[in-house]
Amino acid sequence: TQLLEQSPQFLSIQEGENLTVYCNSSSVFSSLQWYRQEPGEGPVLLVTVVTGGEVKKLKRLTFQFGDARKDSSLHITAAQTGDTGLYLCAGADTGGFKTIFGAGTRLFVKA
Amino acid sequence: DAGVIQSPRHEVTEMGQEVTLRCKPISGHNSLFWYRQTMMRGLELLIYFNNNVPIDDSGMPEDRFSAKMPNASFSTLKIQPSEPRDSAVYFCASSLGTGRKTEAFFGQGTRLTVV
Digitized pLDDT (tens) for each residue of chain A, 111 residues in all: 568 999 999 999 999 999 999 999 988 888 899 999 998 899 999 999 989 999 999 999 999 999 999 999 999 999 999 999 999 999 877 665 677 889 999 999 999
Closest by Cβ to B101, choosing from A48, A88, A104: A48
Q: Is the pLDDT of residue B97 over 70?
A: no
**Res B101: pLDDT:** 61
**Res B99: pLDDT:** 58
Higher model confidence: residue B72 or residue B104? B72
HSE-CB for B107 with a 13 A CA cutoff:
28
Rg of chain A over all Cα atoms, to the nearest angstrom? 13
What residue in B sits closest to A50 (Cα-Cα)? B100
d(CA B81, CA B76): 15
Cβ partners under 8 Å of residue B69, min gap 6: B32, B49, B52, B53, B54, B75
* Strands (DSSP E) found in B1-115: 5-7, 10-13, 19-24, 31-38, 42-50, 53-56, 65-71, 74-79, 88-95, 105-106, 110-114
**Res B98: pLDDT:** 53
> With pLDDT > 70 as the criterion, what percentage of chain B qualifies?
94
Q: Do B55 and A104 touch (CB under 8 A)?
A: no
B9-65 residue pLDDT tens: 999 999 999 999 999 999 999 999 999 999 888 899 999 999 999 988 988 988 999
Q: Do B42 and A101 touch (CB under 8 A)?
A: yes
**Res A96: pLDDT:** 56
Measured CB to CB, residues of chain B less than 8 Å from chain A are 4, 31, 33, 35, 42-43, 45, 48, 50, 55-56, 91, 93, 95, 97-109
**Res A29: pLDDT:** 87
Pair type for strands B88-95 and B31-38: antiparallel
**Res A25: pLDDT:** 92
* Strands (DSSP E) found in A1-104: 5-7, 10-14, 19-24, 31-37, 44-49, 55-58, 61-65, 71-76, 85-92, 99-101
Q: Is the pLDDT of residue B80 over 90?
A: yes
What residue in A sits closest to B40 (Cα-Cα)? A103
Helix, strand and coil in chain A, % to nearest 5: 5, 55, 45
Q: Is the pLDDT of residue B102 over 90?
A: no
**Res B3: pLDDT:** 93
Contacts of B108 in chain A (CB under 8 A): 40-42
- CA angle A42–A47–A51, rounded 5-degree value: 140
Cβ partners under 8 Å of residue A67, min gap 6: A52, A53
Sheet arrangement for strand A55-58: A5-7, A19-24, A71-76, A61-65, A55-58
Give me the torsion for CA of A52, A97, B37, A10, rounded to 10°. Answer: 0
- In this prediction, residues B71-91 reach a mean pLDDT of 97
Q: Do A100 and B45 touch (CB under 8 A)?
A: yes
**Res B90: pLDDT:** 98
Pair type for strands A105-110 and A10-14: parallel
